[in-house]
Chains A and B, each alone.
Chain A
């Protein structure tokens, strides 16, 4: 009896997550996959085949955009790590008590505002008639207005800005758990700052680095708003392309194929990242 009721409790607790997984993730993906392998041969006439995927590989604009999205996302992840690590190290190791809490909060406060508003903030700063452009003119460094929006650098700034919190939080958590005496022992045994960082701090922070990178990479790859608003019409971001297929071109079959390719890409890159860092996914997610 007792085991029956506890088993019932287990299934009841499991039900929401199962429901969420099956109804919102697995079923739509099966649907999308079915759509993605249907080729349109005439009005309301479909045939099963991989023609949609062939279209993707046959059209350079599609796969170049795809590759560009992947490379830019990896670059954004690397940049976020390079910027986020010193911030996290400072918060976790060089501050105490109130200062620490305040700094941590200051990292989070911008995220209380919607992403859309934050991105518009960047547009106000960077556009031709924006704050930065006017400031440069005021200083006399440039003669006319400068357009700083609608290029890859603007996209990169936006991506790093949107996702840096998701890098800083896991890094602060793992660096916090690093005993200060380990760092001191490293110096005491003759290690230089670089050696202590490389041999003691970074290996310890590895779980945080890997999980932060996975999250930031996925967020960048799947980001729609930032590349479109900051990169303009020529942003050529793959999510934008999926949107176009579904909404503008009404070509759900190709759009679904694109969606699946993006899923495959993010899985592949995460897998490679884990292989390179020599960690398993469960280990990474479990520890941070």
Chain B
């Protein structure tokens, strides 16, 4: 017995436009029933990648397999994938039932069966009795669910989602994140979701691929991508991070000592073998990895004294920016436990952080 084959496999998929390479040798596979996100800034090639999976664009080279079958040269209407479009693309000339039944009509399913299957799938997305309504009579969240139902009624092997939450307001978006995840679990279908919003990707995915300039920088679980980013780009793009430029002054196994341009020493523990003494490096440090104290804690590793530059209150995500002795500014998460409720601009604070919590990468050239 071999392991069940993945629903979707991409091998060295490349798309080149004239001189521009939109997707550059991307390889990944998505196991059956998992939620896979492709996260990247706009223009990174994620939409091109998704459109190649859907069949609207053909790759310049590489192979694409769905359930073990190559999809090269197969037109979009013959592929076992469905796509939820960015603006949903519900047909305004049809009512909800006709929209959801569109795919089944194309497959020449008998009329009575279409009606019952449309009813079932609308039930499953929690929208019974909307069949006769027009598209513009539904709210944003309901349209979203209809768009998913329209795809799921066809029982696709892979469902592609092209930033479908982008157009919703914040509250609804938060709600739909949870709902999408539970719909995915209920249908047990493979979802491939593209987004530029890291929180959507982190909350919903089983695996995340972080994409930049047409390449995958890292594929991993949300936890890995957040806590153990492979590259400087991932560390900077996923989550908030303080970024320092420094020069490596000593390497001792995984223990690195760096020196900031201002001459301040930093100690980082990073299992990165590509770093050597004298090299320029960038250090990323999460705001929540920095401990804050109002009184001096003595001479500890990576401890420093600073002055509160500003307090940015944002509920549980509140931060303070602290100006260090050399004028460098770092962002520190502000615990809302009440200890720092009185912190004001100009107060003196002490910061320190664990060398294991920081990440260090070679500085990009140029």
Contacts and interface: CB of A to CB of B under 8 A. Distances in A.
A120 interface: no
Nearest to B56: A184
Contact of A200 (B78, B85, B93, B154): B93
B89 A179 contact: yes
Interface stretch (A1-9, A83-91, A186-194, A220-228): A186-194
A205 to B, nearest CB: 10
A181 interface: yes
**Interface of A (DSSP majority class):** helix
A82 B78 CA distance: 29
Interface residues of B, number: 26
Of B78, B83, B92, B106, the most chain A CB neighbours within 10 A belong to: B106
A188 B82 contact: yes
Contact of A189 (B55, B75, B92, B151): B151
Contacts of A200: 91, 93
Contacts of A184: 54, 56, 76, 83, 85, 89
Contacts of A206: 93
B194 to A, nearest CB: 15
B107 A190 contact: yes
B86 interface: yes
Interface in B64-84: 75-78, 81-83
A268 to B, nearest CB: 28
B154 A185 contact: no
B103 interface: yes
B102 A199 contact: yes
Contacts of A195: 105-106
Contacts of A185: 83, 85, 89, 91
Given A181-B85, A181-B89, A199-B102, A191 B56 contact: no
Interface of B: 54-56, 75-78, 81-83, 85-87, 89, 91-94, 102-103, 105-107, 150-151, 154
Interface of A: 179, 181-182, 184-192, 195, 199-200, 203-204, 206
Given A187-B77, A191-B77, A203-B93, 10 more contacts: A179-B89, A184-B85, A185-B83, A185-B85, A188-B81, A189-B103, A191-B102, A199-B91, A199-B102, A200-B91
